[in-house]
Amino acid sequence: MLMGNFLLDPQTGLGNFFAMLKAATSAAFGTKGTIVTLDLTELIKDETNDKKTIDSCIRALAGLLRAEIARDDYQRMAAFRIGDGEFVIVLPEKTQAEAENLATEIDVLFREKASWHSASGAEICISTVTYGEYGKNGVSVSTILKAAYLALADCRYAEFPMHLPIWAEKLIDHMVERVYETLGLLDEAFTLALNDEISGLPNYRAAELFLEQMLEEYRRYGEPCSLLLIDGDNLKQYNLLGYQEGNRMIRQLATLLKKTLRHNDRVARWLSGDEFLVFLQNADRHFAVEVGERLRAAVEEGSKDWPYPVTISIGVASCPEDGVTGEELLAKAEEANNAAKQGGKNQVCEAKGCYGGTVHAQE
């Protein structure tokens, strides 16, 4: 899937409610184990805690869960964020006692990690609910949904029966199957709408969404970010070879750019045929210029054996120095890209100057 991932919670990197349903329908949880919930609802309801405090605590808890999943003895563990402060953990092959030990360990670590986040000075703790072991018939979708309901409603196992009539179990399973089929259709439509067929990269619609997501991260956490506007130099010569060769060159160029970036950086095709945008989260201007130079050199070197070797000009804009809105960053990146073109092409330009290879071209 191209964007956002319908199965992924963007704030924590954990699976979301739909991911939990998919795992249950695919029998990923095996034939026995234990379900646990971790609840931060009281933290969220506390009006003395601002959004940044709450987000920090949610990310801290998600980080602890990811660390537990990485451990050898919990590699089959699956963790999902199903609400604002509600998390569900499924522990295949683990007993309730083992699950309770894990929940206690996470609670202690979380208190140590998150105590300084409380704006009111009150101690932050996790309300933990263990739903017991699922047995020889495995964990069904209906079992997962009931566990999720109990977490969201702040109920306890003793107050709510886990066994429903067979017809109710089958009705829930049938409804989940239809929901999952609908998600698949939405995923397909979403990908088609945001994908550029020629380059194989996200298209300009996706680029606009990427830009807004990157700036939202800045507004939420204050981390710098940067935008690179890449324009091909003299690529029109490929028109002499026909559209097929031109499209092939664009695909190869897109592949080179994608391979050179960090795994969490994004690149999309922009408005014209040989324009691309690169989105660098947690990247200041200095780092962005380094990335731009790395991309410039990779294209110059990687295209040497192409029918016509190509180069690129890159304009760099950084947030917050060059602006805090998409319009401001795009305007600055375009201005820097024009400077690179006018300064001789095959360069990386930003507000303070242009760079070509390791040579400082202008101040």
Domain termination residue (choose one: 125, 158, 190): 190
Calculate the CA 207 to chain-centre distance: 14
Tell whether 5 is covered by a domain: no
Does 96 share its domain with 221?
no
pLDDT at residue 168 tops 80 = no
Provide the pLDDT confidence category of residue 5 given band limits of 50, 70 and 90. Answer: low
Tell whether 136 is covered by a domain: yes
Angle at 38 between CA 10 and CA 27, to 5 degrees: 70
How many whole angstroms separate alpha carbon 92 and alpha carbon 30? 6
Domain termination residue (choose one: 150, 167, 190): 190
The answer to whether the peptide bond before residue 320 is cis (omega within 30 degrees of 0) is: yes
How many whole angstroms separate alpha carbon 333 and alpha carbon 161? 59
How many whole angstroms separate alpha carbon 85 and alpha carbon 336? 43
Does 89 share its domain with 151?
yes
pLDDT at residue 165 tops 90 = no
What pLDDT does residue 44 have?
Answer: 61
Using CA of residue 316, residue 318, residue 321, residue 326, what is the dihedral sign?
positive
Nearest CA-CA partner of 82 in 16, 147, 23, 139: 16
pLDDT at residue 336 tops 90 = yes
Average pLDDT, integer, range 56-67: 86
Sheet holding 311-319, edge to edge: 266-269, 275-281, 225-233, 311-319, 348-350, 353-356, 359-362
Tell whether 9 is covered by a domain: no
Tell whether 133 is covered by a domain: yes
Average pLDDT, integer, range 15-42: 81
Q: What is the CATH number of the domain that holds 252?
A: 3.30.70.270
Domain range spanning residue 325?
204-362
Structurally, the chain folds into a number of domains equal to 2
Does 175 share its domain with 237?
no
Place of tokens 């109990």: 150
How many whole angstroms separate alpha carbon 118 and alpha carbon 44? 11
pLDDT at residue 265 tops 80 = yes
pLDDT at residue 24 tops 50 = yes
Using CA of residue 85, residue 91, residue 95, residue 100, what is the dihedral sign?
negative
What pLDDT does residue 3 have?
Answer: 44
Does 184 share its domain with 209?
no
First vs last C-alpha separation in the chain: 43
Place of tokens 């959004």: 51
What does the mean pLDDT of the chain come to? 82
Does 145 share its domain with 211?
no
Give 320 or 57, the one with higher predicted confidence: 320
Provide the pLDDT confidence category of residue 362 given band limits of 50, 70 and 90. Answer: very low
Does 82 share its domain with 176?
yes
Does 229 share its domain with 345?
yes
Does 33 share its domain with 153?
yes
Domain termination residue (choose one: 136, 168, 190): 190
Tell whether 49 is covered by a domain: yes
pLDDT at residue 117 tops 80 = no
Average pLDDT, integer, range 201-207: 93
What pLDDT does residue 355 have?
Answer: 78
pLDDT at residue 312 tops 70 = yes
Does 95 share its domain with 225?
no
Residue 343, burial from CB neighbour count under 10 angstroms (0-12, 13-18, 19+): middle
What pLDDT does residue 309 have?
Answer: 93
Query: pLDDT for 209-225, tens place per residue?
Result: 999 989 988 987 888 99
What pLDDT does residue 2 have?
Answer: 46
Report the percent of the chain where pLDDT is more than 90.
36
Provide the pLDDT confidence category of residue 229 given band limits of 50, 70 and 90. Answer: very high
Does 213 share its domain with 277?
yes
Tell whether 290 is covered by a domain: yes
0.75 exceeded by the pTM? no
**HEC sequence for the chain:** CCCCCCCECCCCCCECHHHHHHHHHCCCCCCCEEEEEEECHHHHHCCCCCHHHHHHHHHHHHHHHHHHHHCHHHCCCEEEECCCCEEEEEEECCCHHHHHHHHHHHHHHHHHHHHHHCCCCCCCCCEEEEEEEECCCCCCHHHHHHHHHHHHHCCCHHHCCCCCCHHHHHHHHHHHHHHHHHHHHHHHHHHHHHECCCCCCECHHHHHHHHHHHHHHHHHHCCCEEEEEEEEECHHHHHHHCHHHHHHHHHHHHHHHHHHCCCCCEEEECCCCCEEEEEEECCCHHHHHHHHHHHHHHHHHHCCCCCCCCEEEEEEEEECCCCCCHHHHHHHHHHHHHHHHHCCCCCEEECCEEEECCEEEEC
Tell whether 198 is covered by a domain: no
pLDDT at residue 145 tops 90 = no
Does 257 share its domain with 137?
no
Tell whether 8 is covered by a domain: no
Does 185 share its domain with 212?
no
pLDDT at residue 4 tops 50 = no
Low-confidence winner among 2-6, 84-88, 222-226, 326-330 (lowest mean pLDDT): 2-6
Query: pLDDT for 251-264, tens place per residue?
Result: 999 999 999 998 88
